[in-house]
């Protein structure tokens, strides 16, 4: 089901709406947000210089560092009294990034999530269990309001206690699961330990997964555990921009439809900042054109993707962003080679005999880097031959995929860490070794 008329506008109608909202936003931030005015003055551009969408590229970028430098409310365009909600994303270092919402922002957020929930197959008859951590993180409450808005029944079970999660799932007849892909797999694993067959004893048919990359291999794994008829779609957002709801896949799973009437996407070369031609891979930059409290302009997401303008079979006309190939932040440089953890994941999930859990360890070995991939066997075995074959297969595939030699360590089933939130699968020990 298509939730909103704006998802089917012609390109011309969409661009007219975007331009009008962009002009309004630029005028407002120039007037109300001092750091923006400074940046724009330095770049020698005034709000009235924005005459077409093409002029967007003349505006300066905003980064996470700008949010940190102006902690907590320095980039806000409204007085604090007008905020209805504050969220924050936990920074790994120092202060968190703080975001705020006016009443209007809350409505836009709810609208955006309603759209991506419908695109992912949800409707008012669904029982939606939200296994994201409630709290300062935007994921849980974002999905909560959007799904509630379309009339679904919400089970706000949050994270933790997988046995209880599964009891609710069974007893309440949960049909839709909101979780990270890795936690969804973990739940299926616990279900089996409890004697519950996720495919026969549970009614879950829709997975709205997010907050982690959903690779094709991971989607296959979801089907293996939850049933091949489960519709697993990924959606995208980040708290700086709003939370979930920036974009989401439809049932055709060919990229995530961007809510373009609220977010203008651009793809840039992450090194030079130059806007790349249509269809090329690069860093996603988003401009929020309808936000009141925190209207970020040209926010550098650090996520690597490309934009797809070809029409989608679902009938939506909004541009799609390809499923992410990895955050430029997450990229590891190992012996001079760029390595995305998602590449290693693809190898692990594509190898028979291995479960979906793994750990990547990078350390300094003399003057060189050493890459170790710990993988978990699906079934314990004493057969040396079998173990050797699996190890060799992973090593060879990694060599082809990355062009690097890696040490592969096979672990017994159920030994690697499981995660309820975002999985932490990379340990880069080089920083500590310096």
Residues that bind Zn ion (CB under 5 A): 250, 312, 314, 316
CA distance 122 to 119: 7
Q: Closest separation between CB of residue 16 and Zn ion, Å?
A: 22
* CB proximity list for 82: less than 8 A, separation 6 or greater: 102, 103, 292, 293
Taking the least distance from each CB to Zn ion, the nearer of 78 and 250 is: 250
Q: How far is Cα 378 from Cα 415, in angstroms, rounded to an integer? A: 11
Of the pair 155, 312, the CB lying nearest Zn ion is at: 312
Residue 323 contacts residue 304 (beta carbons within 8 Å):
no
Question: Could you tell me the smallest distance in angstroms from the CB atom of residue 352 to Zn ion?
Answer: 33
Minimum CB distance to Zn ion, residue 30 (Å): 36
- In whole angstroms, give the CA distance from residue 233 to residue 250: 7
Nearer to Zn ion, 146 or 255 (CB): 255
Q: Which is nearer to Zn ion, 102 or 317 (CB)?
A: 317
Q: Least distance in Å: CB of 7 to Zn ion? A: 9
The tokens for 23 are: 């002009």
Least spacing, CB of residue 318 vs Zn ion, in Å? 8
Rg of the chain over Cα atoms, rounded to whole angstroms, equals 22
> Residue with structure tokens 């594509």?
350
CA dist list (Å): 347 to 321, 338, 354, 415 = 24, 16, 10, 19
CB of 309 to Zn ion, least distance (A): 12
CB of 254 to Zn ion, least distance (A): 7
In the complex, minimum distance from the CB of residue 132 to Zn ion, in angstroms, rounded to a whole number: 24
Distance CA(340)–CA(344), nearest Å, equals 7
Nearer to Zn ion, 169 or 312 (CB): 312
Minimum Å gap between C-beta 251 and Zn ion is 7
Shorter beta-carbon distance to Zn ion: residue 312 or 371: 312
β 206-209/231-238 pair status: parallel
**Minimum distance from residue 189 beta carbon to Zn ion (Å):** 31
Nearest approach, Cβ of residue 259 and Zn ion (Å): 13
Least distance (Å) between residue 314 CB and Zn ion: 3
The distance from CA 321 to its chain's CA centroid, rounded to whole angstroms, is: 12
Q: Is 137 exposed, middle or buried (0-12, 13-18, 19+ CB in 10 A)?
A: buried
Q: Enter the tokens of residue 103.
A: 């009443």
Q: Of 242 and 312, which CB lies nearer to Zn ion in the complex structure? A: 312
């Amino acid at each position: 089901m298509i939730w909103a008329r704006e998802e089917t506008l012609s390109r011309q109608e969409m661009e007219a709406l975007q331009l009008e909202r962009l002009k309004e936003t630029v005028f407002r931030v120039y007037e109300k947000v001092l750091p923006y005015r400074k940046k724009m003055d330095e770049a020698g551009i005034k709000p009235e210089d924005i005459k077409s969408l093409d002029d967007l590229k003349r505006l300066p970028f905003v980064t996470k560092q700008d949010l940190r430098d102006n902690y907590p409310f320095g980039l806000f365009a409204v007085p604090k009294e007008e905020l209805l909600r504050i969220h924050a994303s936990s920074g790994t270092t120092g202060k968190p990034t703080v975001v705020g919402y006016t009443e209007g922002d809350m409505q836009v957020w709810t609208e955006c999530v309603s759209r991506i929930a419908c695109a992912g197959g949800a409707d008012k008859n669904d029982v939606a269990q939200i296994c994201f951590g409630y709290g300062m993180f935007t994921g849980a409450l974002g999905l909560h309001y959007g799904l509630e808005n379309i009339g679904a029944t919400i089970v706000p079970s949050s994270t933790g206690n997988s046995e209880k999660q599964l009891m609710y799932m069974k007893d309440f007849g949960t049909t839709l699961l909101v979780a990270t892909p890795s936690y969804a797999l973990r739940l299926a694993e616990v279900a089996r330990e409890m004697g519950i067959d996720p495919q026969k004893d549970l009614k879950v048919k829709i997975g709205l997964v997010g907050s982690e990359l959903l690779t094709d291999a991971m989607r296959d794994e979801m089907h293996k555990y939850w049933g091949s008829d489960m519709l697993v779609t990924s959606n995208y957002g980040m708290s700086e921009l709003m939370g979930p709801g920036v974009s989401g896949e439809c049932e055709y799973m060919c990229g995530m439809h961007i809510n373009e009437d609220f977010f203008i996407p651009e793809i840039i070369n992450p090194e030079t900042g130059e806007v790349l031609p249509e269809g090329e891979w690069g860093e996603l930059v988003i401009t929020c054109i309808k936000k009141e409290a925190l209207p970020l302009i040209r926010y550098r997401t650090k996520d690597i993707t490309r934009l797809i303008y070809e029409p989608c079979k679902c009938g939506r006309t909004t541009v799609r962003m390809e499923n992410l190939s990895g955050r430029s932040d997450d990229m590891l440089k190992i012996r001079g080679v760029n390595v995305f953890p998602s590449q290693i994941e693809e190898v692990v999930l594509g190898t028979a005999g291995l479960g979906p859990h793994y750990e990547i360890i990078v350390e300094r070995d003399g003057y060189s880097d050493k890459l170790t991939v710990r993988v978990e066997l699906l079934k314990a075995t004493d057969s040396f031959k079998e173990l050797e074959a699996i190890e060799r297969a992973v090593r060879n595939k990694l060599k082809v995929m990355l062009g690097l030699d890696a040490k592969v360590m096979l672990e017994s089933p159920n030994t690697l860490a499981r995660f309820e939130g975002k999985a932490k699968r990379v340990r880069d020990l080089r920083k500590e070794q310096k």
